[in-house]
Amino acid sequence: MVSTATDVALDEEGPRIELFLNDDRFVRGGITTEDPLLFAKLFDDNGINTVGSSIGHDLLATLDENTEQAVVLNDLYEADQDTYRSGQVRYRFNQLAEGSHTLRLKAWDSHNNSSESTTDFVVAPSAELALEHVLNYPNPFTTHTEFYFEHNRPCITLDVQIQVFTVAGRLVKTLSRQLTCDGFRTEAMAWNGLDDFGDKLGRGAYVYRLHVSTPEGEQAEKFEKLVILR
């Protein structure tokens, strides 16, 4: 009698891919320098195929849809400790042009299922301090919000000042901190919605100015809006 295995799970899904630039705090459309690091986390129950045993089954990175210069990353994949199901891959691009770019990563599992992940990013030349994705969250808020921004000066200490103004231009709150940034996205600066005298600000729209300076004296600033609900 010939027996047939019935407990083998049917696998028709490719690996799960989390795609970043530089570190896992990157958000889509984020800012970077001319030499960004592709960083991806991959997972599949049946393991990641990095052998490239079939034509077109490589772990492949494509920049700006330039398929003729796609980068094979098989040898750069590193499995996580004590498991074959997950791992990471890193690859450094060099001297990318200023402006917007797209990035696509394609991976295969050991059952020949593929999947893709895409993202986009903006190269801001490191010759000039640049700020992007300046925001506070939540917004609108009642009693608590946090300010975030991206920059192109990783791994240095930044002097950060946030000034909140009424729509008529009156300064009501100043926040100042030194932030040590491991990557291109800062840690949060929290605010409780109180003015410089500890009083609650009224319901409505406000404008805030982010001012950032480096130890070398470089400076940059941006204005954004926030809304307080009471």
- Which of these CATH numbers, 3.40.50.300, 2.70.98.40, 2.60.40.1220, 2.60.260.20, describes 16-123? 2.60.40.1220
Strand positions, DSSP E, 66-188: 71-72, 77-79, 86-92, 99-108, 114-123, 131-137, 145-151, 157-166, 171-180
The pLDDT value recorded for residue 55 is 66
- Which of these CATH numbers, 3.10.20.30, 3.40.50.2000, 3.40.50.620, 2.60.40.1220, describes 131-228? 2.60.40.1220
Beta bridge partners of 165: 171, 207
Residues 208, 210: Cα–Cα separation, whole Å: 7
| 160 in Cβ contact with 212 (< 8 Å) | yes
Residue 182, sorted as left (phi over 0), alpha (psi -120 to 50) or beta, turns out to be: alpha
The pLDDT value recorded for residue 8 is 47
Residue 23, sorted as left (phi over 0), alpha (psi -120 to 50) or beta, turns out to be: beta
| 28 in Cβ contact with 128 (< 8 Å) | no
Full-model pTM: 0.62
Closest-CA residue to 133 (of 193, 185, 66): 185
The pLDDT value recorded for residue 33 is 83
The pLDDT value recorded for residue 38 is 96
In the chain, CATH 2.60.40.1220 sits at 16-123, 131-228
The pLDDT value recorded for residue 53 is 60
Alpha helix segments (H runs only) across 104-174: none
Q: What is the pLDDT along the chain (230 residues), one digit of tens a residue?
A: 444 444 445 668 999 999 999 888 888 888 888 889 999 999 999 999 988 666 678 999 999 999 999 999 999 999 999 999 999 999 999 999 988 999 999 999 989 899 999 999 988 876 678 888 899 999 999 999 999 998 888 878 899 999 999 999 999 999 999 987 777 888 889 999 999 999 999 999 999 999 999 888 889 999 999 999 97
